[in-house]
Structure 1
């Protein structure tokens, strides 16, 4: 691991740690994003509407138009209770506050006028008394609201039992309540609070508190109390976590067990508001017998009385984005409990989401640093898809609310930061390498250099290299016939076509020297079978040049064919960046380089286009090689044995070449022994080579013609002094 990578990992993990701690603190913005995500889930798959025994008796616009403006006198409310009870309502729950005396009561009106005998006033009817007598003995639940003034606490009509730690500090706090009329609170079968989202900043009602607490007593909400009264239950059973104080996990009322949050809230799983769930109050109070449909809707149902009239301002927003009467949410609470379709956010959800941020973030940092940003992006997208699918399936099939957004956002931030750091710092080293070596290395070799730690050491390194020199034959004569711009065009066409084979065979292009190419293999990093790849590049150059000549790519005409000579040698050389500090070239120097250059020059004397040294030939067991004799190279005190490269391994195994190699062996043996049969064997070899020019090397006949003039080069005297230069 490089220092830049170490720093990148450290910074990436620091970002992951910061994001993990941010999620653990759970700021309001993350909560809002989480809630919006869960809202979208409900919009995609809302709770299906079921025709359950729950109805809303709606004081709607039609009721106000027909029976008069709100507030109605309470004798009319009493009449509504009597009619609902007569129709068979299981419970009548009022989402209405009865905190003040009825101002429309005859007794109150006359008293306010004044000047009337008090004894006569007391004989007048009082609507609150009428209402109180109406609800007496009936399953009626009244509601109370929260107040910031006073210290009134409504009476609790049920008992509470609990398991585990005390739950009194778990629910939202009740400081004071709106008072009920004494005769009403005494005669009501149940009393529950009507607050839907106390203390919430959001206008959307997502969860309702089933309980409130003043620290000493618990107070049920209207829906829960209605469900208790409907079952005739007398006690609520609460279950808390055994190891976590001040939490509630379950509320049991009668036959129903309700999963709740730690604060005793029920996540609302709402269904679309349907007209089937409503009955107009005007229809209930209509003169005469109620219609069969109205009676069937009320009979046996838990009835909530409330208003949808816009002027009464009891409109709430659901997770589906619908504006509905507040009373319908109480009804939906009971419907949800009856249907058994609950949403829950388990205690371990927060821990799972925090852990997923830490694990996914660390994984992305590692992948971005050590593999590639593209792979990290692919893994990030996969993690995103998995998080979304897992969260959605958990919601759809188990009603679990698991947040996919926090891990996704944290992963995106981590990936962006790690990628940016890698681009700005870690990959800077690779960009330097790419700029320095991209012009003369193959993409595969350059990739290996970029991704191999310490593969490249600049400044000089002794390595075994296979070095190639390529030179154009008769270039001086060619350039004399051409204009300077035509010479440049000729060289660009030829050198571009030939140098491509160096790159394709994982070689390193060192330089272009006029009409020559210098290349080497096995640097900057190790290249397997470097001698074989150099020879394959040379053979490909031979074929490419033949194709260029045949197509007259140089515009010289069919009578003028361009030729090249290629010399290849394997030996120890020093390779590295050489030159000035501000302008350098990656190159190789040493005796091995000089030998390769001299072998290329020897192609003229040998009469063959591709020659390799004996050290290279030893690494080419499968190639079609012919002994070219031992030549004295310029600057060398001993002879250098050379081999002509006729073709690749396929040619080496052909019957024709096997026969030629046998004849060639006889020839070299005769020449070494200075046998009188040498000339005879040379003639046989010429005839055989003449028949093998198709698909092989066109220079073979000339190669054998020159052998007869170089018989002494095959003498077995490797230590004798080189007498002349090959060039």
Structure 2
């Protein structure tokens, strides 16, 4: 690790630490962003509306138009209770405050008239008494509001049981409540608070406290109390987190268990507002028979009574962005409990998100510092996609809420900062090296220099290499007909087109020597199957040269074509930086290089364009190869067995090549034994070769003059074993062309 990289890692980790601490402090802006993300999840996949035994009896615009402005006299509310009870409502919950005397009560109206006989007042009806008598003995739940004044508390109708210590400090705290009319409070079957977002400044209702506390007593929500009364339950059972005081994990009401936050809040999983949830009060109070569909909705249902008219100012915004009556959210709380579709944010979610920022951020710092920008970006995008996928899957399949934004935003900031530092500081030296050497060295060597300390030192290592030499045939004759500028143009076209195949097959271009190319594989980095890739590069060169000749890319005319010879050999060589301290070249030296050069020269004698040594052929046997004989190479005391490269693996698998190879093997045996059938076999091989993608006419014509190459080769095969399977088939009686 260079000093610049060390500084980059330190700077990146400092940024990650700052972002982690920022998330741990959880400022309001982050909380708002997290809540908006959860809202988007619900908008994409809201809870599906189902027709349940929960409905809203709404005091809507049509009802106000029919029966007059709000508030209505309470004898009308009594009429509602009587009718709802008679129609089989399992619970009747009023999302309406009854804290003041009914100003429309006849007794109240007459009392304000001067000179009225007190005995007359006693005989006049009182609407509050009528309403109180109507709710007595019926499953009616009244709502109460919170107040910051006084110390009034409603009388709880239900008991509370706890699995541990009473969690009086867990729910939101209240100072007081708006007192209900005493008779109404006494006769109600249940009392519940109607506050949806106490102390929350947000206009969007996302969570609802199912319980409130004054430090000594718990107070249930209106929806919770309605569900209790509907079941005839008398007690709430609260479960707390083990070893964590003042927390709530679940609330059991009768047959239903509700998972809640530590503060006893329920995450609302809302549905799009649906008309099937509502019943107009006008239908219930109108003279005549009640519609059959309305009666069916009421029978056995929990009925919430509340206002939906816009002028009555009880409109709330849901996570879906819809404005709905507040009473409908009370109904949705019960719907959610009955359906079992809950959302929850585990207590350990914050810790997991903080840890993910620290781990993912640190990982991105190291990736950005030590890997290429493209790979680091791909990894960053993968982490982003993983965070989104994990968060979305948790929401869809488990109803769990995990923040996808904090890890993604923190990771993006970290990646941007680390990338900027790398570009400005770490990569500056690499850019200078690439600018200086980019025109001369292969990409793999550039990568090694960029990522290895002291890569530009002198010295070499012994490695197994596959070396290639490429040479233009009759270059002297070609250059005699061209001007120097035309020679340069020809070489540039030739060398550029053919050298691309070296780079494309992970080779290293060593040097251009006039009209020749020297390249090698498996250095400076390891290359798998380097003999096969060298052969593939040679086949690509053959194909490219044929195209250049066909297109007259050299400008010599179609009647004059350019030929090449390619030699390939695999063996041990010394490779490294060689030269002086101030001027050196990355190259390979050794006997392997010399043998390769001699094999390339032998292409002229064999009359074929691509020859490879036996060591290369042994590891590229899936290509179409024909033995070319054991050649005496200049400077070598023993002969070198060579093979002609006919084509790729598709050619090797063809029936045509299979037939030719069989004849060729028989011909080699005949040459070794000087059998009189050589001429017949040569003729058969020439016929078979005509259907292959290369011209073998001169190759076979020259073989008859090189019998000594094959006699030595045959003897060597007896010692070392054949490269092909033994037992060659007999020559066919006829050899038709195809």
TM-score range (shorter-chain normalised) is 0.7 to 0.9
**C-alpha distance after superposition, 1:421-472 (max 9, x if no partner):** 44444444544443344323344x3366257634x63253366799999999
Counterpart position of 1:131: 131
Counterpart position of 2:157: 157
Question: What displacement does 1:100 show?
Answer: 2.0
Q: Is residue 463–residue 575 contact of structure 1 (8 Å, CA) maintained in 2?
A: no
Counterpart position of 2:623: none
Give me the TM-score of the superposition, normalised by structure 1.
0.72
Counterpart position of 2:315: 315
| Cα distance change on mapping 1:378 and 1:693 into 2, 3 Å | same
Q: Is residue 23–residue 406 contact of structure 2 (8 Å, CA) maintained in 1?
A: yes
Moved more, 206-215 or 107-116: 107-116
Q: Is residue 437–residue 446 contact of structure 1 (8 Å, CA) maintained in 2?
A: no
Question: What displacement does 1:410 show?
Answer: 3.5
Gaps of 5+ in 1: 611-616, 630-639, 664-691, 702-727
Report whether the alignment pairs 1:31 with 2:31: yes
Q: Give matches, 1:9-24, under 5 Å.
A: 9-24=9-24
Q: Give matches, 1:167-178, under 5 Å.
A: 167-178=167-178
SS at match of 2:177: coil
**C-alpha distance after superposition, 1:495-546 (max 9, x if no partner):** 5467667767877667768x57686769983789999999999999999999
**C-alpha distance after superposition, 1:206-225 (max 9, x if no partner):** 22111111112211111112
| Cα distance change on mapping 1:284 and 1:144 into 2, 3 Å | same
Question: What displacement does 1:278 show?
Answer: 2.2
Counterpart position of 1:259: 259
* Residues in 1 aligned to 2:296 and 2:541: alpha-carbon distance in whole angstroms: 96
SS at match of 2:698: coil
Counterpart position of 1:214: 214
| Cα distance change on mapping 1:231 and 1:562 into 2, 3 Å | closer
Counterpart position of 2:678: none
Q: Give matches, 1:46-65, under 5 Å.
A: 46-65=46-65
Moved more, 26-35 or 112-121: 112-121
Counterpart position of 1:234: 234
**C-alpha distance after superposition, 1:172-214 (max 9, x if no partner):** 1112222222232223222211001112232221221111111
* Residues in 2 aligned to 1:247 and 1:498: alpha-carbon distance in whole angstroms: 75
* Residues in 2 aligned to 1:573 and 1:238: alpha-carbon distance in whole angstroms: 76
Question: What displacement does 1:95 show?
Answer: 0.8
SS at match of 2:524: coil
Q: Is residue 53–residue 302 contact of structure 1 (8 Å, CA) maintained in 2?
A: yes
Q: Is residue 473–residue 564 contact of structure 2 (8 Å, CA) maintained in 1?
A: yes
Counterpart position of 2:41: 41
Question: What displacement does 1:304 show?
Answer: 1.5
SS at match of 2:43: helix
Q: Is residue 90–residue 300 contact of structure 1 (8 Å, CA) maintained in 2?
A: yes
Report whether the alignment pairs 1:179 with 2:179: yes
* Residues in 1 aligned to 2:288 and 2:520: alpha-carbon distance in whole angstroms: 107
Question: What displacement does 1:608 show?
Answer: 8.8
**C-alpha distance after superposition, 1:703-724 (max 9, x if no partner):** xxxxxxxxxxxxxxxxxxxxxx
Counterpart position of 2:327: 327
| TM-align CA RMSD | 5.1
* Residues in 1 aligned to 2:212 and 2:120: alpha-carbon distance in whole angstroms: 44
Aligned residue pairs: how many? Answer: 649
Moved more, 19-28 or 360-369: 360-369
Gaps of 5+ in 2: 608-612, 619-627, 647-663, 675-695, 706-738
| Cα distance change on mapping 1:551 and 1:70 into 2, 3 Å | closer
Moved more, 24-33 or 241-250: 24-33
SS at match of 2:257: strand
**C-alpha distance after superposition, 1:579-638 (max 9, x if no partner):** 97xxx6747799x99x99xx99xx9xxx9999xxxxxx9999999775576xxxxxxxxx
Counterpart position of 2:698: 694
**C-alpha distance after superposition, 1:252-272 (max 9, x if no partner):** 223322221111112222233
* Residues in 2 aligned to 1:94 and 1:314: alpha-carbon distance in whole angstroms: 13
SS at match of 1:89: coil
Q: Give matches, 1:92-107, under 5 Å.
A: 92-107=92-107
Q: Is residue 566–residue 609 contact of structure 1 (8 Å, CA) maintained in 2?
A: no
Q: Is residue 12–residue 414 contact of structure 2 (8 Å, CA) maintained in 1?
A: yes
SS at match of 2:76: helix
Q: Is residue 143–residue 192 contact of structure 2 (8 Å, CA) maintained in 1?
A: yes
Give me the TM-score of the superposition, normalised by structure 2.
0.71
| Cα distance change on mapping 1:245 and 1:442 into 2, 3 Å | same
